Amino acid sequence: MPKWLVGWLLPVLLLLSTAASGQRVLLGLKGGGAFSKAIGPDATASRLRLGATVGLLVRLELPVGLALQAEGLYAQRGDNGNSYGFSVGHRLDYLAVPLLLQYHRDGLFVEGGAQYGYLLRATPNEPPAIRLDELAFEPRDLNFVLGVGFQDTSGVSVGWRYVGGLNNVFQPGQTSGTGQRRLRNSSLELYLNFVFEPRQVGQLTVAIGRGIGRGALGAVRLIGRAPGTLFRVVQRRQRPPTQLPAPDATPPVLPD
Q: What is the per-residue pLDDT across 70-118, written as a single tens digit (0 to 9) for each?
A: 999 999 999 998 765 578 889 999 999 999 999 999 999 999 999 999 9
Count of alpha carbons within 13 angstroms of residue 206, beta-carbon side? 6
The answer to whether residue 251 is domain-embedded is no
What does the pLDDT read at residue 86?
79
pTM (two decimals): 0.70
The answer to whether residue 85 is domain-embedded is yes
Q: Based on the fold, state whether residues 87 and 213 are members of the same structural domain.
A: no
What does the pLDDT read at residue 229?
60
What does the pLDDT read at residue 254?
62
Q: What is the per-residue pLDDT across 154-201, written as a single tens digit (0 to 9) for each?
A: 999 999 999 999 999 988 765 544 556 789 999 999 999 999 998 766
CA distance 151 to 26: 13
Q: What is the per-residue pLDDT across 37-71, written as a single tens digit (0 to 9) for each?
A: 999 988 888 899 999 999 999 999 999 999 999 99
Least confident of 16-30, 79-93, 171-185, 223-237: 223-237
What does the pLDDT read at residue 33?
97
The answer to whether residue 239 is domain-embedded is no
The answer to whether residue 240 is domain-embedded is no
Average pLDDT over every residue of 129-139: 64
The answer to whether residue 250 is domain-embedded is no
Q: Based on the fold, state whether residues 214 and 152 are members of the same structural domain.
A: no
* Domain boundaries, position 167: 3-196
CATH of the domain at 191: 2.40.160.20
| Helix H or strand E encompassing 187 | strand 184-196
Q: Based on the fold, state whether residues 202 and 116 are members of the same structural domain.
A: no
The answer to whether residue 252 is domain-embedded is no
What does the pLDDT read at residue 168?
92
The answer to whether residue 81 is domain-embedded is yes
Give the helix, strand, coil percentages of the chain, each rounded to 5: 25, 45, 30
Domain count, the chain: 2
Expressed in angstroms, the distance from the first to the final Cα of the chain is 120
